[in-house]
Chains A and B, each alone.
Chain A
């Protein structure tokens, strides 16, 4: 069985400061890794994903995540946040051959001016 742990339930951060959201997973098989973002009263939007290849993946809005197989982690980072980054962020895994996503508990990011 797979599981995902997001170590921080809330992260307050000042505008233009860096942020890191931590995600660790456990699985007995190869996995795909995802970060989704959820804005208030909306569904989930895909931020970035790791399927294979380069362990560093980037999104179009400045986020990046690095897959570390030895530490079973997929931490999300952004060097400089904006007010509009205020949202809840979910880390998720799926088995390489399946389609069931297992989510972490989410991390609420509150960007303060």
Chain B
């Protein structure tokens, strides 16, 4: 079974711009979570989508958003970029059966640099 993939792997943007990151979950996985990893704050949960619905949200400003439609790959968007948004953004997918959520499997991440 193919793993989680993310595109692009590396991205350079300037302050004030917006960016869209894409994720391809493992086939059959309907839950996709996003995390931000920085040297200072470590790994922090951004949000989780189950099918097309946001099910959980972390403590990030509204500039960070996600979307997940049945006919397209899950994406996350960051608007009005700030220097502090420079980070590795990780996508993770998991299988959900009823009320039970299985293990999260992570992609390699997208390294975003904001200049």
Residues of A in contact with B (beta carbons under 8 Å apart): 34, 36, 42-46, 49, 90, 92, 94, 97-106
In the bound complex, residues from chain B placing their C-beta under 8 Å from that of A90 are 43
B58 at the interface (CB under 8 A from A): yes
B101 and A44 contact, CB distance less than 8 A: no
CA distance A104 to B50 in the complex (A): 25
Which listed residue (B6, B31, B42) contacts A99, Cβ 8 A? B31
Shortest Cβ gap from B73 to chain A (Å): 17
Residues of A within 8 Å of B43, CB to CB, are 90, 92, 101, 103, 106
The listed residue (B45, B107, B108) touching A101 by CB distance below 8 A is B45
**Size band of the B side of the interface?**
20 to 34
| B109 beta carbon closer than 8 Å to chain A | yes
Instruction: Determine if B105 is an interface residue (Cβ-Cβ < 8 Å).
Output: yes
Is B106's CB under 8 angstroms from A44's CB? yes
Closest-by-CB residue of B relative to A92 is B43
Closest chain-B Cβ to A105's Cβ sits at a distance in Å of 5
Q: How far is the CA of A101 from the CA of B43 in the complex (A)?
A: 9
Residues of A within 8 A of B35 (CB): 101
A102 engages B42 (CB within 8 Å): no
Please name all residues of chain B whose beta carbon is closer than 8 Å to the beta carbon of A98 when the two chains form the complex: 56, 101
- When distances are taken between beta carbons in the complex, the residues of chain B under 8 Å from A97 are 99, 101
B81 within 8 A of A: no
Considering the chains assembled together, what is the distance between the CA atoms of A99 and B105 in angstroms?
Answer: 12
Distance, CA A98 to CA B56, complexed state (A) = 8
**With an 8 A cutoff between CB atoms, is B63 at the interface?**
no
Min CB gap B94→A, angstroms: 6
Chain A CB within 8 A of B75 CB: no
| Given contact pairs A43-B90, A106-B42, A99 touches B106 in the complex (Cβ within 8 A) | no
Nearest Cβ on chain B to A64's Cβ, whole angstroms: 17
Contact B107 A43 (CB under 8 A): yes
Most chain B beta-carbon contacts within 10 A, residue among A49, A99, A102, A103: A99
Chain B 79-97 against A: per-residue CB contact (8 Å), 1 yes, 0 no?
0000000000010101010
Known: A98-B56, A99-B55, A99-B94. Is A46-B103 also a contact (CB below 8 A)? Answer: yes
